[in-house]
């Protein structure tokens, strides 16, 4: 046997020993031979680990969590009952009962509150989401503090970089941010405020107010035909 094959075998045996130790402590595996768990990681009883999950570094996972297939976690802290599906979580904290993914990316410094939702193709960087806040899909949250029970619609972007410096925004409790909104930091959105879909927000929004920052729709009937763009069928 070559030295390289010997090294592979030793690593596989050590990985299986680590996984078996977790299984003895009440951790459940879909396929115990395909999970990769760092020796420093701590995982609570009742947590389920999917195939090809990777848990690296000084990670702490609470009881009754779900770490889904192909999820990667490094140096992070999870509460109880957290669900993570096919996502990447790095140097972040997730509160009890929060749901992450599928296909979410939590970059360093992310703090997700209890019962919050970070959905598919959502990226969070150096930001916090309060308890019950939701960003269900296709959103970038960078350098922002999001309050409790906030709804971030599809396509919301926190525009945090002006070309030279990063800036931070705050969204108050219970605010509603519509789809395809750009929040140009630094701004403060007050508690319970609404931002209409398609708005680019550049100034602070008082609590309970509505911001609409888009052009009024115009309908030019017959425009296609006059321009000669009508295609024959």
How is the chain split into domains, by residue range? 3-226
> What tokens does 112 get?
């997700």
Phi (first) and psi of residue 3, to 5 degrees: -60, -35
What does the alpha-carbon distance between residue 94 and residue 116 come to, in Å, rounded to a whole number?
A: 9
Give the number of residues written for the chain: 233
Give the mean model confidence (pLDDT) for residues 56-76. Answer: 98
| Dihedral sign of CA atoms 228, 229, 230, 233 in order | positive
Q: Is the pLDDT of residue 193 over 80?
A: yes
Q: Is the pLDDT of residue 232 over 80?
A: no
**CA angle, 113 as apex, 120 and 49 as ends, to 5°?**
60
Q: Is the pLDDT of residue 228 over 90?
A: no
Q: Is the pLDDT of residue 213 over 70?
A: yes
225 band by pLDDT with thresholds 50, 70 and 90: confident
Domain 3-226: CATH superfamily is Hexapeptide repeat proteins (2.160.10.10)
pLDDT value of residue 99: 98
Residues catalogued as catalytic: 137
Q: 18-27: b or e for each residue (b if 16 or more CB lie within 10 Å)?
A: bbeebeeeeb
**pLDDT digit string, tens, across residues 6-27:** 888 988 899 999 999 999 999 9
**pLDDT digit string, tens, across residues 139-166:** 999 999 999 999 999 999 999 999 999 9
Cβ–Cβ < 8 Å for 10, 46: no
**pLDDT digit string, tens, across residues 91-100:** 999 999 999 9
């Amino acid at each position: 046997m070559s030295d390289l094959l010997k090294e592979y075998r030793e690593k596989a045996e050590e990985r299986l020993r680590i996984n078996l130790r977790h299984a003895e402590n009440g951790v459940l595996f879909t396929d115990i031979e395909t999970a990769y768990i760092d020796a420093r990681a701590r995982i609570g009883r009742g947590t389920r680990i999917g195939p090809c999950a990777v848990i690296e570094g000084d990670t702490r996972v609470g009881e009754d969590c779900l770490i889904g297939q192909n999820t990667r976690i490094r140096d992070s802290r999870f509460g109880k009952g957290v669900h993570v599906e096919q996502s990447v979580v790095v140097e972040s904290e997730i509160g009890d009962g929060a749901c992450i993914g599928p296909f979410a990316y939590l970059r360093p410094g992310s703090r997700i509150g209890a019962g919050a939702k970070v959905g598919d193709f959502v990226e969070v960087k150096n930001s916090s989401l309060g308890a019950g806040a939701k960003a269900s899909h296709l959103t970038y949250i960078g350098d922002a503090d999001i309050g409790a029970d906030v709804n971030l619609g599809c396509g919301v972007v926190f525009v945090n970089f002006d070309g030279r410096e990063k800036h931070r925004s705050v969204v108050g409790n219970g605010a509603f941010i519509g789809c395809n909104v750009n929040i140009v930091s630094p701004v403060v959105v007050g508690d319970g405020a609404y931002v209409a879909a398609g708005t680019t927000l550049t100034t602070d929004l008082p609590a309970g107010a509505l911001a609409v920052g888009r052009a009024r729709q115009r309908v030019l009937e017959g425009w296609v035909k006059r321009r000669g763009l009508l295609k024959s069928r």
